[in-house]
């Protein structure tokens, strides 16, 4: 029979250490958090050999009295909570009282600490958690902890360590995250004597981002600032045009702690849907403030995972907060020009990290929910009514009246309906619509007011004028002291996409006079036929002719017959590829393709009235900033930039 015996405290510490201390990065994280909890204004982290042989954290925080310094290394020794009740309202980063004990049990430690105002400091030396030396010492106010020879007494753990370089960059990542979530603390990081990072500690998240993630990243950001009941979200996200190839630039902080969370990631990415190419990822530094009682950080010993009481609220706060910020930010990147030779360096006006005027323009989550609901669930036209006034065209006449779609084959011009502005007034009126599964008062009554916020007031006389069109591709517009260049294909594509997407009914189709045979690969043909019902909602009616041959009987009204085959080929390829995608994103993908194929092409001639209408929509609607793939619709060239080029300023 097995003999049961209680583990010695040392063995228990070693086991606990396995949870808290995985590698040098975890030591750095715990010590940095302690320094921040101690109220430090400056913290320096230094490592040698990836932090395996030497890791020192120096802070100017509150320090520890001699007795406390020793107690701090006992297991479950913490100054941060006293009883179970305190657990519900933790505001410090640490509270489990395990970190120092755990780190000490697997390393050799030197501690120097002096509380503010105390005459002398304390020095302690520990090995494997046992105090070897203690005594008074002269040292600056604050605390310095040196951790040497990590895992020297646990060879089994040592085996799991990667190269010094890999461990060192993990420590760097840890310091980066702490620097990002504590812009109020000046944080420095030195690796083998070389400074790798240094933040000013001026309390500005933007400065911390600039110093931590680099200038290029800091330039491509949009500020997010929103609130949903008791949840507050602030931070920065990348513009849809400045996405990354992976998620390495996604930083989330909850209650001042870096966290990993699938929920937050998917809420973020949801906000970029249809504005970003597949395979690209937004970057962000987003801080969520949430009352401690609405979450549980204690689920993971390293506290990198969180559990939220109401996931739905958190998801919506992030999704709509980010979406609101993206939609509210002028999506008109400035033209990138090289400074003329001999010119003074460009004034930061144009290149300063996200000019201040772009800030504070986001709707809060409540407003955005209401706004999004009116877009999504907007007026549901009957197919007949829709023929006269396609639903979502909130600011203008329909881009194309179906009556003219037959002409499309011969005259592939952008049909903007070109009616007088008055005619546009009818579909223009925002219609409040029922909102699905919204429980809050603000969201359950999406008011005209809320929908109205989505539109910029349109002056009677436009404050812009179309100067012309360059290269049959770019519309040139003068507005104020700026020139705007509008990519007409990207703009039209986005407008069509929004219109298709907002229509709740099936997409209108046109019957082809003669059925159109379409050549698809065998697999594509099967995928298309399997999804015939879905394709029908998108305006395609197809028939199996056997042996991979398919004929089209109807195609979307927007689509030129000459584009139909290509469109169906792309759709079939997407269906084949996206079999496991969720239906909403699959449908969005199909609509992209249709919008892209139906949109006016670069190089095509566009009539002046059509140009005007396109420009009017681009300048008045907030949802027309990027084509569905994330390319910008409009860029600006300012008077200042021109003056610089001509050396007038
Ligand atoms: P926790 O942070 O969970 O309380 P730790 O083991 O990390 O547990 O630290 C134990 C205690 O030691 C802390 O509660 C704090 O009182 C003290 N302490 C640790 N590091 C510092 C520091 N850098 N400055 C001042 N006090 C510290
Ligand atoms: Mg701690």
30 touches ligand 1 (CB under 6 Å): yes
Q: Which residues, 6+ apart, have CB-to-CB distance to 429 below 8 Å?
A: none
Segment 56-66 mean pLDDT: 96
Give the Å distance between the CA of 467 and the centre of ligand 1. 66
Q: Is the pLDDT of residue 51 over 80?
A: yes
| DSSP H/E element including 31 | helix 24-37
Which pLDDT value is given to residue 545? 83
96 touches ligand 1 (CB under 6 Å): yes
Task: Give the residue among 197, 175, 234, 218 at the shortest CA–CA distance from 30.
Answer: 175
Give the Å distance between the CA of 582 and the centre of ligand 2. 42
Of ligand 1's listed atoms, the one at least distance from the Cα of 30 is 7
Which pLDDT value is given to residue 132? 95
Q: Is the pLDDT of residue 38 over 70?
A: yes
Q: Is the pLDDT of residue 226 over 70?
A: yes
Residue 376 binned pLDDT confidence (cut-offs 50, 70, 90): very low
Query: Diameter of the chain by CA atoms?
Result: 97
191 touches ligand 1 (CB under 6 Å): no
72 touches ligand 1 (CB under 6 Å): yes
Q: Is the pLDDT of residue 167 over 70?
A: yes
Stronger pLDDT, 508 or 209, i.e. the higher one: 209
**Per residue in 256-267, pLDDT tens?**
888 888 999 999
pTM for the whole structure: 0.62
Distance of alpha carbon 520 from alpha carbon 529, whole angstroms: 11
| Phi/psi-derived region of residue 108, left when phi > 0, alpha when psi is between -120 and 50, beta in every other case | beta
Q: Specify the residue with its C-alpha closest to ligand 1, atom 7.
A: 99
Of ligand 1's listed atoms, the one at least distance from the Cα of 62 is 25
Residue 626 binned pLDDT confidence (cut-offs 50, 70, 90): confident
Give the Å distance between the CA of 197 and the centre of ligand 1. 24
Distance of alpha carbon 553 from alpha carbon 534, whole angstroms: 15
Other CB atoms closer than 10 Å to residue 308's CB: what's the count? Answer: 19
Highest mean pLDDT among 305-309, 371-375, 459-463, 517-521: 517-521
Contact 184, 203 (CB under 8 A): yes
Task: Give the residue among 133, 79, 84, 92 at the shortest CA–CA distance from 111.
Answer: 133
**Per residue in 70-121, pLDDT tens?**
999 887 767 666 666 665 555 565 556 788 999 999 999 999 999 988 999 9
The CA-CA-CA angle for residues 90, 95, 101, to 5°, reads 175
Which of 55, 56, 72, 178 most suits a substitution to test ligand 1, by most atoms within 8 Å of the C-beta?
72
Give the Å distance between the CA of 303 and the centre of ligand 2. 11
Q: Specify the residue with its C-alpha closest to ligand 1, atom 12.
A: 72
Q: Are strands 231-238 and 257-259 parallel, antiparallel or unpaired?
A: unpaired
Which pLDDT value is given to residue 456? 53
Helix (H, G, I), strand (E, B) or coil at 630: coil
**Per residue in 509-565, pLDDT tens?**
899 988 999 888 888 888 899 989 889 988 899 998 877 788 999 999 888 888 898
Helices (H), 87-229: 99-105, 155-158, 164-181, 205-213, 215-219
Task: Give the residue among 226, 188, 192, 231 at the shortest CA–CA distance from 208.
Answer: 188
Of ligand 1's listed atoms, the one at least distance from the Cα of 73 is 6
143 touches ligand 1 (CB under 6 Å): yes
Which pLDDT value is given to residue 92? 60
**Per residue in 382-398, pLDDT tens?**
333 333 333 333 343 33
Other CB atoms closer than 10 Å to residue 264's CB: what's the count? Answer: 24
């Amino acid at each position: 029979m097995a003999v049961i015996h209680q583990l010695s405290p040392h063995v228990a510490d070693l086991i606990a250490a396995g949870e808290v201390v995985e590698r040098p990065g975890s030591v750095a994280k715990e010590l940095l958090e302690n320094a921040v909890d101690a109220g430090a204004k400056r913290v320096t982290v230094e490592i040698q050999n990836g932090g395996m042989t030497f890791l020192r954290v120096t802070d100017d925080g509150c320090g520890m009295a001699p007795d406390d310094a020793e107690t701090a290394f006992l297991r479950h020794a913490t100054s941060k909570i006293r009883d179970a009740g305190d657990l519900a309202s933790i505001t410090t980063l640490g509270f489990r009282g395990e970190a120092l004990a755990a780190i000490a049990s697997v390393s050799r430690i030197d501690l120097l600490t002096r509380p503010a105002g105390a005459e002398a400091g304390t020095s302690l030396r520990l090995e494997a958690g046992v105090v070897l030396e203690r005594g008074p010492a002269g040292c600056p106010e604050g605390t310095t902890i040196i951790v040497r020879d990590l895992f020297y007494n646990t060879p089994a753990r040592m085996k799991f360590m990667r190269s010094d370089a890999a461990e060192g960059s993990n420590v760097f990542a840890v310091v980066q995250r702490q620097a990002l979530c504590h812009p109020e603390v000046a944080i420095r990081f030195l690796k083998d004597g070389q400074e790798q990072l240094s933040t000013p500690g001026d309390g500005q998240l933007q400065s911390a981002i600039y110093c931590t993630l680099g200038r290029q990243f800091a330039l491509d950001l949009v500020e997010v600032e929103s609130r949903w009941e008791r949840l507050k979200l602030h931070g920065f996200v990348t513009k849809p045009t400045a996405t990354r190839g992976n998620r390495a630039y996604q930083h989330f902080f909850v209650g001042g702690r870096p966290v990993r969370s699938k929920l937050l990631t998917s809420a973020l990415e949801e906000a970029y849907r249809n504005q970003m190419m597949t395979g690209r990822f937004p970057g962000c530094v987003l801080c969520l403030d949430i009352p401690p009682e609405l979450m549980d950080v204690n689920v993971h010993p390293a506290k990198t995972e969180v559990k939220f009481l109401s996931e739905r609220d958190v998801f919506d706060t992030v999704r709509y907060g980010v979406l609101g910020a993206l939609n509210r930010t002028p999506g008109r990147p400035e033209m990138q020009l090289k400074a003329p030779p001999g010119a003074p360096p460009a004034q930061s006006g144009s290149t300063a990290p996200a000019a201040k005027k772009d800030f504070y323009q986001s709707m809060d989550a409540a407003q955005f929910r209401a706004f999004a609901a009116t877009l999504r669930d907007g007026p549901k036209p009957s197919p007949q009514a829709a023929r006269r006034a396609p639903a979502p065209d909130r600011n203008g006449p329909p881009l194309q009246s179906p009556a003219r779609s037959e002409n499309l084959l011969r005259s592939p011009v952008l049909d903007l309906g070109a009616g007088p502005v008055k005619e546009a007034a009818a579909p223009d009126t925002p219609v409040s619509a029922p909102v699905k599964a919204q429980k809050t008062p603000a969201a359950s009554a999406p008011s005209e007011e809320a929908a109205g916020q989505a539109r910029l007031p349109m002056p009677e006389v436009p404050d812009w004028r179309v100067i012309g069109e360059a290269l049959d591709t770019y519309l040139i517009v003068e507005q104020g002291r700026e020139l705007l260049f509008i990519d007409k294909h990207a703009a039209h594509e986005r407008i069509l996409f929004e219109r298709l997407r907002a229509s709740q009914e099936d997409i209108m189709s046109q019957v082809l006079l003669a059925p159109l045979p379409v050549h698809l690969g065998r697999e594509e043909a099967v995928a298309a036929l399997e999804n015939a019902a879905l394709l029908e909602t998108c305006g395609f009616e197809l028939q199996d002719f056997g042996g991979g041959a398919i004929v089209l009987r109807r195609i979307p009204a927007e689509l030129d017959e000459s584009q139909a085959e290509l469109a169906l080929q792309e759709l079939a390829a997407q269906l084949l590829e996206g079999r496991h995608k969720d239906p909403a994103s699959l449908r969005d993908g199909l609509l992209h393709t249709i919008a892209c194929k139906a949109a006016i092409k670069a190089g095509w001639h566009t009539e002046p009235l059509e140009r005007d209408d396109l420009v009017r929509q681009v300048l008045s609607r907030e949802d027309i900033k990027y084509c569905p793939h994330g390319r910008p619709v409009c860029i600006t060239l300012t008077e200042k930039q021109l003056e610089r080029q001509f050396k007038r300023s």
